[in-house]
């Protein structure tokens, strides 16, 4: 998309998250400048807020843009998980948990092939973050939408209690009271086991709450620093425009200065010629005056002789 064809934020974001990482910042600046030139300062501000994607986010964005159907099985499992959650079907959730692992692994295999095809290596960290993001897309519809449109900014990790959380902590079948050969009940043991399980779940939830709070705090800090980056980049873009204008003015002034210099040199040459002509005329006048004086003197001498 050329600068002249810039229509709206949606078009701008599609282009930004489809370009190479090395081109992101410069292209964002060009789109901001184009929006301002088109009389849309609000659009320029919105474009300036677009964050450069991390390595794994960029790789996932390019993969889904190239092969959008590769993630159809993953999105299908996500829909089925949400339905199983509404039905509170523990058995179906356990089945879908297995399918979730399979579709995530298949998607990862496709991603590896794509990375090899475009000559981009995948480190262990990139693979881990890719898996976390794919799982997050199953559990969170907003993440799924970002992935589907190829607009991820960074790796995502699901930490809620939606479908993915329920699959990870699939409910066990309710304890069945067993009777021993002596006719005694094992309900007490089952109650102890249930209590221990509930304590374990409570501890896991407490740990999850702690890390969720840390995530929220880190997100706030990231947003704050991103705003600082955006402000700095907008200032840099404005100054770049100002420098460009001043350079254009300087170029015009230098051109005018060259014209004036040539005019001055021409005037100086004409002045020198006039000075030379003046000197010649002055010399000729002096000689003429001298000749006149001599003639007058001769006339006076002749008159004296005749007397």
The per-residue pLDDT for range 1-43, each reduced to its tens digit, is 544 445 589 889 999 999 999 999 999 999 999 999 988 899 9
Evaluate whether residue 31 is within a structural domain. Answer: yes
Residue 38 counted as domain residue? yes
Encode burial over 100-126: b for 16+ CB neighbours within 10 A, e otherwise.
beebbeebeeebbebbeeeeeebeeeb
For residue 167, is pLDDT > 70? no
Domains identified in the chain, total number: 1
Establish if 18 belongs to a structural domain: yes
Give the mean pLDDT of the chain: 78
Nearest to 200 by CA among 159, 228, 172: 172
Q: How far is CA 219 from CA 9, 26, 225, 227, 298, in A?
A: 24, 26, 10, 12, 115
**What pLDDT shows up at residue 2?**
46
Q: Which residue in this structure is represented by tokens 């890390």?
A: 211
pLDDT in the model for residue 223: 58
Examine residue 91 and state whether it is found in any structural domain, yes or no: no
Question: Is residue 185 predicted with pLDDT exceeding 50?
Answer: no
In a domain, 208, yes or no: no
**Residue-range definition of the domain harbouring residue 11:** 3-48
Q: What percent of the chain has pLDDT over 70?
A: 71
Using CA atoms, how far apart are residues 242 and 236, in angstroms rounded to an integer?
10
CB burial string 233-251: b at 16+ within 10 A, e below: bbeebeeeeeeeeeeeeee
Phi, psi of 29 (to 5 degrees): -65, -40
pLDDT in tens, 219-259: 656 656 666 656 676 677 667 767 677 887 888 888 888 87
Residue 21 counted as domain residue: yes
Q: Quick one: tokens of 132?
A: 């976390």
Residue 268 lies in a domain: no
According to the model, what pLDDT value does residue 265 have?
A: 87
Residue 13 lies in a domain: yes
């Amino acid at each position: 998309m050329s600068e002249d064809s810039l229509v709206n934020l949606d078009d701008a974001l599609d282009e930004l998250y489809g370009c190479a990482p090395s081109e992101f910042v410069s292209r964002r600046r060009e789109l901001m400048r184009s929006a301002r030139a088109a009389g849309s300062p609000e659009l320029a501000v919105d474009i300036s807020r677009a964050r450069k994607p991390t390595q794994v986010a960029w790789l996932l964005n390019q993969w889904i843009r190239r092969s959008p159907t590769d993630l159809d099985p993953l999105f299908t499992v996500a829909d089925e998980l949400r339905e199983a959650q509404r039905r509170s079907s523990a058995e179906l959730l356990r089945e879908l948990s297995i399918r979730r692992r399979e579709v995530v692994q298949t998607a990862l295999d496709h991603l590896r092939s794509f990375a090899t095809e475009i000559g981009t290596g995948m480190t262990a960290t990139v693979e881990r973050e890719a898996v976390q993001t794919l799982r997050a897309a199953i559990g969170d519809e907003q993440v799924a939408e970002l992935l589907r449109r190829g607009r991820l900014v960074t790796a995502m990790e699901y930490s809620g209690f939606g479908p993915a959380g329920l699959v990870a902590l699939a409910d066990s079948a309710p304890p069945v009271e067993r009777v021993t050969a002596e006719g005694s009940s094992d309900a007490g043991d089952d109650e102890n086991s249930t209590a221990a399980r509930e304590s374990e779940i409570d501890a896991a939830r407490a740990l999850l709450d702690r890390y969720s709070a840390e995530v929220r705090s880190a997100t706030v800090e990231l947003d704050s620093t991103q705003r600082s980056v955006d402000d700095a980049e907008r200032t840099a873009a404005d100054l770049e425009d100002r420098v460009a204008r001043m350079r254009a003015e300087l170029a015009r002034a230098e051109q005018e200065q060259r014209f004036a210099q040539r005019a001055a040199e021409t005037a100086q040459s004409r002045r020198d010629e006039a000075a030379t002509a003046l000197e010649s005329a002055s010399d000729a006048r002096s000689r003429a005056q001298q000749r006149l004086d001599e003639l007058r003197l001769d006339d006076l001498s002749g008159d004296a002789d005749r007397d």
